[in-house]
Amino acid sequence: MTRTVGIGNCLLATLLPADIDLLAPGLEMVALDQDEVLSRAGDPIEHLFFPHSGAISLMIDANGQSVATAIVGREGTVGSLSVLGPSPSAITAIVRAAGTASRIRASRFHAAFNRSPAIRHAIQIHVSAMLTQFQLSAACNALHPVEARMARWLLHLRDRIDLDVLPLTQEALSQILGVRRTTVNLLMRNLRAFGAIRSERRGHIEVDRTRLAAAACDCHRTIRLDVEAIISMKAAPISHSGCSG
């Protein structure tokens, strides 16, 4: 691990140097390994992670099953809900695409959060965007066919890593969607026949973004536009490209 000011993360990049200086002594660069669990539902939130690359899914557990409610990349952070109070994590955060992140202990982040109006503002915007993702994903999970939902989640992951080859197994997809592996296998065949999936080999899925968008429900576009609207209305412009969700 090495010290880092973390400006490869878009949320941190919105902060002025004086605010970054409050965080910098506690920030460490860490690797995000694929399938790594960063936090578990029911456990205290010990760290916040500000991804520079990669993607993390936020999972809700219910009745012994899990389903994804949001995905986070370099535009945001994992663990931000800890600022709402000292309660256990409500979600399980799992790395879906390997990358790197700036990590800071929750206690150190909360101290900086309490001292800096700019940090509080940035986190409030992020939390608002995440709650929007949670709400729209919950509606999508309840209302839309599973094949359209799978296409949507594949698009969300592709947006974060900006690659057509996604590092996903069918087991990971079954967790994200809250369905059986056999269902995922059938959906993969359907999307391959449609041309939305070009190929699949163990742990990797190559997609055609245009056809995948045609197979997905409108929720992908709705979530992306709503989140971007929240950020653009409330935040200062981000100084470097690639930071939209």
**What is the domain extent for residue 19?**
2-117
Residues 159 and 87 in one domain: no
Asked if residue 135 is part of any domain, the answer here is no
List, for residues 212-223, the tens digit of each pLDDT value.
999 999 999 999
Residues 113 and 153 in one domain: no
Residues 79 and 160 in one domain: no
Residues 113 and 175 in one domain: no
Q: How far apart are CA 102 and CA 32, in angstroms?
A: 10
One digit per residue, the tens of pLDDT, for the chain of length 245 reads: 444 554 689 999 989 999 999 999 999 999 999 999 999 999 999 999 999 999 999 999 877 788 999 999 999 999 998 887 777 888 999 999 999 999 999 999 999 999 999 999 999 999 999 999 999 998 998 899 999 999 999 999 999 999 999 999 999 999 999 999 999 999 999 999 999 999 888 889 999 999 999 999 999 999 988 888 887 765 544 333 356 44
Question: What total of structural domains would you count in the chain?
Answer: 2
Cα–Cα distances (Å) from 41 to 58, 90, 94, 179, 194, in that order, read 10, 5, 11, 20, 37
Asked if residue 84 is part of any domain, the answer here is yes
Say which residues have a Cβ less than 8 Å from residue 84's Cβ, sequence separation at least 6. Answer: 127
Asked if residue 52 is part of any domain, the answer here is yes
Residues 151 and 112 in one domain: no
- Residue 177 sits in a domain whose CATH number is 1.10.10.10
Q: How far apart are CA 243 and CA 224, in angstroms?
A: 12
Residues 111 and 150 in one domain: no
Residues 78 and 27 in one domain: yes
Residues 101 and 175 in one domain: no
Residues 33 and 113 in one domain: yes
Contact call for residues 29 and 99 (beta carbons, < 8 A): no
Six-digit token string for 119: 């940090």
By residue count, the chain amounts to 245
List, for residues 180-224, the tens digit of each pLDDT value.
999 999 999 999 999 999 988 888 999 999 999 999 999 999 998
DSSP string of 21-67, one letter each residue: HHHGGG-EEEEE-TT-EEE-TTS---EEEEESSSEEEEEEEETTEEE
pLDDT of residue 230: 83
Residues 52 and 112 in one domain: yes
Asked if residue 140 is part of any domain, the answer here is no
Asked if residue 133 is part of any domain, the answer here is no
CB neighbour class for 159 (10 Å; exposed up to 12, middle 13-18, buried from 19): middle
pTM of the model: 0.90
Asked if residue 28 is part of any domain, the answer here is yes
- Residue 7 sits in a domain whose CATH number is 2.60.120.10
Asked if residue 228 is part of any domain, the answer here is no
Residues 63 and 150 in one domain: no
Asked if residue 128 is part of any domain, the answer here is no
Q: In b/e form, how buried is each residue of 99-117, taking b as 16+ CB within 10 angstroms?
A: bbbbbbebebbeebbeebe
Residues 91 and 186 in one domain: no
